[in-house]
Amino acid sequence: MLATLVDAPFDDADWLFETKWDGYRAIAAVQQHKVQLYSRNEKDFGKDYPAVVAAVENIAHNVVLDGEIIVLDSKKNSHFQSLQNYKTTGKGNLVYMAFDLLHLNGVELQQLTLLERKSLLKDIVAQLNDKRVQYSGHVLKKGKTFFEKARHQQWEGIIAKKTDSTYEEGRRSASWLKIKVTNEQEAIICGFTAPRGSRKKLGALVLGLYDDKQLKYIGNCGGGLNEASLDMLYKKLQPLVQQASPFGRRIKTDMPVTWVKPKLVCQVKFSEWTGDGILRMPIFLGLREDKPPADVHPETPKTVQTMATATAPAAGEKDRVITLNGKKVNLTNQQKIYWPKEKINKGQLVDYYLSVAQYILPHLKDRPMSLHRFPNGIDKPSFYQKDLDLEQTPAWIKSIALHAASTGKDVDYLLCNNEATLAYMVNLGCIEINPWLSRTSKLDNPDYVVMDLDPENIDFKYVVEAALHIKAFLDPYKITTFCKTSGSTGLHIYIPTGGKHSYDTGRLFAEYIARQVNKQLPKSTSVTRAKSARNKKVYLDFLQNSRGQTVASPYSVRPKPGATVSMPLQWKEVNEKLKISDFDIFNSLERINEIGDIWHDIQSTKNDLRKFIRDVEQSADT
């Protein structure tokens, strides 16, 4: 029984709502403690997931279960990529999540109501008492609230099921509905492009699907491919290479394509379909070994009559309108090229920022923003804008009026507190996001002291050396430091203070650290601002610590070749292997998904600079 895709959640007393688990759908048939574990197209999963077989075979009844093979994280969420990683590493909390019961001790149960089947299933799983087999719970009636929980916890989506529905084997039913939080699509790999830059084996996958029995091109996918997946895909695709394109018409691509037989199916995540049926910003999640290519078709959401609001259809490629935080945001000229060499357009920049919004917004909230606008891309003139034209700005945009001593007038600074405002900023041409170091509640007290390590005609290894010296100098005083790439040429070191100190105190502290490290590294560092005096040296810039100064935020894109990103680092990553080009708009979300948001606690970390001064004075006395 398969679910029908619909476009919105709804409340209904006759329906229940379950988590949409993100893994392999699998039937588990148990007969006298012997198990068959297989997909709906009868692929044997037993040899791939022996741990599931070992758990299911202990069920005390002869049963046929319907469920999902998944890997659960610490928050009880499932991600398809985690299941893919489990296959190669064997690491992860592998679970068979059972959501239906079809047979029990020789009795067919398909004609029982869903609630009756689930009640029996719950008892069977409870009797087993094995964490590797779990019961998929549900809520009744309140689909909208459950969907908001799914959105908040970043599930793939939810499943709505009629409580009195029977089980319709092998059929896509209107009694089971799926409502997605994230857009995902099965796609057929039809070819691959050559690698560019540091990438090996292949560049991007050329994707298609069947539409009216015709193979249709739906775009290229280069995001989400790491070294291991590139190697795996290359090995699987080599035997499938063929001269002719599998598509019925000529496909226009930016790079030459090596065509393959359309045999492999993958899962991708994407932001939306374009007006001409192309996936926008697809990210590779893994291969779908449970799906034959002939079953891969486009899914068009159907409208639910009981829903509160309808989802607007996708807009055209050049302009589109999206709804975020209940606000409509007009996105214009989405095809405009911002990075000519890489052929990266404005729409892709918007998509990146929306994909990392939950991670970047905590670093922007309640901070005045300086808008650095690039209306025609990185190779054309840009300009700074601090003062908003409130008459031309949507009424829902938050701002703060601050007096400018230089002009004697008030300046209306934008505040970026939500996704809608972030999208609005990027649509203005803000490639990079530059917040103040202080918030509106304490404008004269920054939340961090920042050291900007800026190389001038000197190898990047000396930037790394200077950063490690700063950390080594501060560690004995128990000063917690955070490091990120600038996304441009250097590194940024943040020393959180929790708004306890003034800008003047922070700047004096930063200057003291800079001068101490400069004494240790006089040949490779400088504290002099004039470029002529710091040629072939790393400038230890402490002057950013002033009211009104800005620094590119964590996860900000920079207007540099390669669409590089200012990426938070673990200190162990600050070594001779580190490169600015390691992080860009195509791999940053994948990194966050793999290692998490490693700056998640910077807002709650507070260093006491006064204690540091006392400790320094005490060590000087001794």
Of residues 533 and 466, more confidently modeled: 466
Band of pLDDT at residue 308, cut at 50, 70 and 90? very low
Judge if 468 and 365 occupy the same domain.
no
Kindly state whether residue 503 falls inside one of the protein's structural domains. Answer: yes
Counting Cβ atoms within 10 Å, is residue 19 exposed (0-12), middle (13-18) or buried (19+)? buried
Judged against a pLDDT cut of 50, whether residue 311 lies above it is answered with no
**Is residue 424 within a helix (H) or strand (E), and if so which, with residue range?**
helix 419-427
Dist. CA 147–CA 31, nearest whole Å: 37
Which domain-ending residue is among 180, 199, 230?
Answer: 180
Please report, for the domain that includes residue 417, its CATH number. Answer: 3.90.920.10
Dist. CA 315–CA 275, nearest whole Å: 6
For the record, the structure tokens of 532 come out as 């002529």
Judge if 168 and 206 occupy the same domain.
no
DSSP state of 343: T
Dist. CA 10–CA 164, nearest whole Å: 17
Band of pLDDT at residue 274, cut at 50, 70 and 90? confident
CB-side neighbour CA atoms (13 Å) of 254? 14
Query: Percentage of the chain with pLDDT > 90?
Result: 63
Counting Cβ atoms within 10 Å, is residue 214 exposed (0-12), middle (13-18) or buried (19+)? exposed
Judge if 484 and 603 occupy the same domain.
yes
Judge if 470 and 361 occupy the same domain.
no
> Mean pLDDT for the chain?
90
Dist. CA 44–CA 28, nearest whole Å: 10
Quote the radius of gyration of the chain (alpha carbons, Å): 27
Judge if 29 and 164 occupy the same domain.
yes
Average of pLDDT values for 244-253? 85
Band of pLDDT at residue 313, cut at 50, 70 and 90? very low
Q: What is the SS3 assignment for 493? A: strand
Which domain-ending residue is among 132, 157, 180?
Answer: 180
For the record, the structure tokens of 329 come out as 């945001």
Q: What is the pLDDT of residues 180-198, one digit of tens each?
A: 988 889 999 999 998 876 6
Judge if 503 and 426 occupy the same domain.
no
Average of pLDDT values for 413-437? 96
Average of pLDDT values for 553-579? 97
Band of pLDDT at residue 307, cut at 50, 70 and 90? very low
- In one-letter notation, the amino acid at residue 70 is I
CA dihedral 55→56→61→65, nearest 10 degrees, is: 150
Kindly state whether residue 312 falls inside one of the protein's structural domains. Answer: no
Judge contact between 167 and 1, C-beta under 8 A.
yes
Domain count for the chain: 4
Q: Sort strands 183-193 and 283-287 into parallel, antiparallel or unpaired.
A: unpaired
Kindly state whether residue 303 falls inside one of the protein's structural domains. Answer: no
Average of pLDDT values for 364-385? 91
Dist. CA 60–CA 37, nearest whole Å: 17
Judge contact between 546 and 503, C-beta under 8 A.
yes
Kindly state whether residue 306 falls inside one of the protein's structural domains. Answer: no
Judge if 615 and 474 occupy the same domain.
yes
Please report, for the domain that includes residue 81, its CATH number. Answer: 3.30.470.30
Compute the Cα dihedral for 7, 8, 13, 18 and give only its sign: positive
Which domain-ending residue is among 135, 165, 180?
Answer: 180
Judged against a pLDDT cut of 70, whether residue 622 lies above it is answered with no
Kindly state whether residue 309 falls inside one of the protein's structural domains. Answer: no
Kindly state whether residue 304 falls inside one of the protein's structural domains. Answer: no
CB atoms within 10 A of CB 302: 12
Helix axes 346-355, 588-595, angle to 10 degrees: 10
Range of the domain at 330: 317-435
Judge contact between 492 and 486, C-beta under 8 A.
yes
CB-side neighbour CA atoms (13 Å) of 248? 8
Judge if 159 and 254 occupy the same domain.
no
Nearest to 457 by CA among 545, 550, 526, 560: 526
CB environment 519-540: b (16+ within 10 A), e (fewer): eebeebbbbeeeeeebeebbbb
DSSP state of 616: H
Output the pLDDT for position 318.
Answer: 65
Output the pLDDT for position 314.
Answer: 36
Judge contact between 387 and 401, C-beta under 8 A.
no
Dist. CA 402–CA 412, nearest whole Å: 6
Judge if 263 and 382 occupy the same domain.
no
Kindly state whether residue 311 falls inside one of the protein's structural domains. Answer: no
Judge if 95 and 120 occupy the same domain.
yes
Judge if 68 and 13 occupy the same domain.
yes
Please report, for the domain that includes residue 192, its CATH number. Answer: 2.40.50.140
CA distances from 314 to 109, 217, 425 (A): 41, 18, 21
- In one-letter notation, the amino acid at residue 256 is P
